[in-house]
Amino acid sequence: MFTRNQDMSEERSLGSRVIRFSDFRWEGIEPAPYKEAGVDWSAVTRQLLLGPDEDAPFHLRYFEVEPGGYTTYERHEHQHVVVVLRGKGEVRLGDSWESVNYGDVVYVAPNEPHQLRASGDEPFGFFCIVRADRDPAVPL
């Protein structure tokens, strides 16, 4: 599912380590586009913090949504566990939207249609934990 960047893997230590945080970035990790073009989303970046290079059965990612931005409305069999780290947002679970704030944890059950969007004046940032061997998302 995840295409490993061989060059990057060779440069990074894959052993035990501390990955330093500063201003919503982590040492050695570059923000990347959230997703390919051709699917509806706006103003979202992703930082892949841990998992694929470590051969872990789960991956830790951090997503940041600029004011006005949103993720794709989609569903998939794999579960999402989200932890809000920054700003204010709203999460759609099926037909209802709920506001979420710092520290809130969101569980997205298998096949639940879902979407996240920023609702404040500052970026809305959250961790998202997923299983490593997961099915592709289906845009809705």
Q: Give contact residues for its own copies (rule: CB under 8 A).
A: 14-22, 24, 26, 49-51, 54, 56-58, 60, 79, 81, 83-85, 91, 93-94, 98, 100-109, 112, 114, 127, 129, 131
From the list 31, 128, 134, 136, the catalytic residue is 128
- Dmax of the chain from CA atoms? 44
CB nearer to its own copies: give 16 or 36: 16
Residue type, 7: D
50 three-state secondary structure: strand
Supply the minimum distance, in Å, between the C-beta of residue 120 and its own copies: 16
Supply the minimum distance, in Å, between the C-beta of residue 102 and its own copies: 7
CB nearer to its own copies: give 43 or 81: 81
CA distances (Å), 39 to each of 15, 35, 117, 128, 137, in order? 36, 8, 15, 19, 11
For this structure, is 100 an active site residue?
A: no
Rounded to whole angstroms, how far apart are CA atoms 13 and 53? Answer: 9
CB nearer to its own copies: give 36 or 88: 88
Rounded to whole angstroms, how far apart are CA atoms 39 and 138? Answer: 10
Supply the minimum distance, in Å, between the C-beta of residue 6 and its own copies: 20
Supply the minimum distance, in Å, between the C-beta of residue 69 and its own copies: 20
For residue 102, give the nearest of 128, 83, 129 by alpha carbon: 83
Rounded to whole angstroms, how far apart are CA atoms 54 and 100? Answer: 31
Active centre residues (catalytic): 128
